[in-house]
Amino acid sequence: MYFDPRPKRSREDLYDREAEIEALKAMRAPMSLVLGLRRAGKSSVILVALSELGHPSVYVDAREFEGELYIAYKDLARALGDALSAPLRRFPKLAEALRTVRGISVAGLRVELEWGRERAGLADVLKALDRWAEREGEKVVVALDEAQELSKLRGYDVLPALAYAYDNLKNIYFILSGSAAGLMDRFLKLQDPRSPLYGRYLERVELKPFSKEKAADFLARGCEQYGVDPPDVDAVYGTLGGSPGWLTYFGHLYVQLKDVEEALRRTVSYAVGLIRQEFENFLRGREAAERRYRAVMEMAAGCAAWSEVKRGLEAREGRTINDAEVTKLLRNLVDYSFLERRGDLYCPADPLIARAFRPR
């Protein structure tokens, strides 16, 4: 069912995205990136690809760390332990392989990683997975959903382990997801010669918002699954844009209420609330610049050029603000998908983000 509001796990519930799923399944490079705005369907596409690949997979959704200021190794160890437990039911021999790693214990179907002195590092875990896969003639897929959240790890850097695995562990295949700017520039630092992953070829799979035509088709087919007449796409697309997540949420309400206006009203109210909450999370640790970030979002609600943002901030504060500061504010907002660059302009990444920040 297209309008099921949870991330999809099977292809029949996922509209379109055939090419993207096939690109992930082709495993053309040791590491693939799934790039997209919030609610573009990144988790869904990854989960469908993992289930169709059928290889043992280790899936970590780092979104759970979004509200945290920083992450300790302990948190990663717990998430990794949970993720490593998942494939054990189908691949019981994997438990033996994991047990041989110092700092890993396996009890029944539960994997636990030591995080203190005797901790198991990510590279050790990956090596053990690779050795097991080699023996079994398998491949192991390691998926780090919203991987850029891991840049908040304190006292531990996952990049060297990822680069080591990329170069040496040929039975491991990585799928990382995130926003283009946040994942590639901020986390993997692919442009930076000092980054462990610099110069590696990474397959990129981009999840674009639906076009108006696709949105219309998605709504029509989704409604058909419930035997409900489809809504007028102009009204829906005009308000929500092409975000698969908002369209799904709307569809879910619409097939119950059968009232376009009411379903739109509730979708907008839910979306605006969620976006504001996500913005609060973003501001954690950035309190000193909070007023500036809010001001930039208000100024950019109808799109704004860099120079307009600078002038606007200066007018509000009655003093000059240096260029690097303006650039930093905008860059962080783009990295976290609140804003998007369109040529010279900075625009809200979707119409509901604009609405969440429009001055009242």
Residue 267 as a binder of Mg ion (CB under 5 A): the answer is no
Q: Which of residues 5-24 bind ligand ATP (CB under 6 A)?
A: 5-8, 14-17
Residue 217 as a binder of ligand ATP (CB under 6 A): the answer is no
Q: Per-residue x/- marks for ligand ATP, 238-277, CB under 6 A?
A: ------xx--x-----------------------------
Residue 139 as a binder of ligand ATP (CB under 6 A): the answer is no
Q: Yes or no: say if 187 and 178 are a contact pair by the CB < 8 Å rule.
A: yes
Please choose, out of 31-39, 155-163, 185-193, 290-298, the segment that lies near ligand ATP by the rule CB under 6 A: 31-39
CB of 166 to Mg ion, least distance (A): 23
Q: Yes or no: say if 243 and 270 are a contact pair by the CB < 8 Å rule.
A: no
The DSSP call for residue 137 is T
Residue number with the shortest CB distance to ligand ATP? Answer: 41
Q: Which residue has the tokens 């990474």?
A: 202
Q: Which of residues 56-85 bind ligand ATP (CB under 6 A)?
A: 63
Q: Yes or no: say if 42 and 8 are a contact pair by the CB < 8 Å rule.
A: no
The dihedral over CA atoms of 305, 307, 313, 316, expressed in degrees to the nearest 10, equals -100
Residue 179 as a binder of Mg ion (CB under 5 A): the answer is no
The DSSP call for residue 341 is E
Q: Per-residue x/- marks for ligand ATP, 32-51, CB under 6 A?
A: ----x-xxxxxxx-------
Per-position DSSP letters for 43-78, written without gaps between them: HHHHHHHHHHH-S-EEEEEGGGGTT-S-B-HHHHHH
Per-position DSSP letters for 195-252, written without gaps between them: STTTT---EEEEEPPPPHHHHHHHHHHHHHTTT-PPPPHHHHHHHHTT-HHHHHHHHH
Residue 39 site contact among Mg ion, ligand ATP, none (CB < 5 to 8 Å, cut-off depends on kind) = ligand ATP
Nearest to 258 by CA among 285, 226, 283, 286: 226
Strand intervals (E) in 267-325: 304-305
Residue 129 site contact among Mg ion, ligand ATP, none (CB < 5 to 8 Å, cut-off depends on kind) = none
Residue 44 as a binder of Mg ion (CB under 5 A): the answer is no
How many residues bind Mg ion (CB under 5 A)? The answer is: 1
| Complex with Mg ion: residue 5 or 302, whichever CB lies closer | 5
CB of 19 to Mg ion, least distance (A): 20
Task: Choose, by CB under 5 A, the member of 32, 43, 239, 243 that binds Mg ion.
Answer: 43
Q: Where on the chain is the footprint of ligand ATP (CB under 6 A)?
A: 2, 4-8, 14-17, 36, 38-44, 63, 244-245, 248
- Binding residues for Mg ion, rule: CB under 5 A, are 43
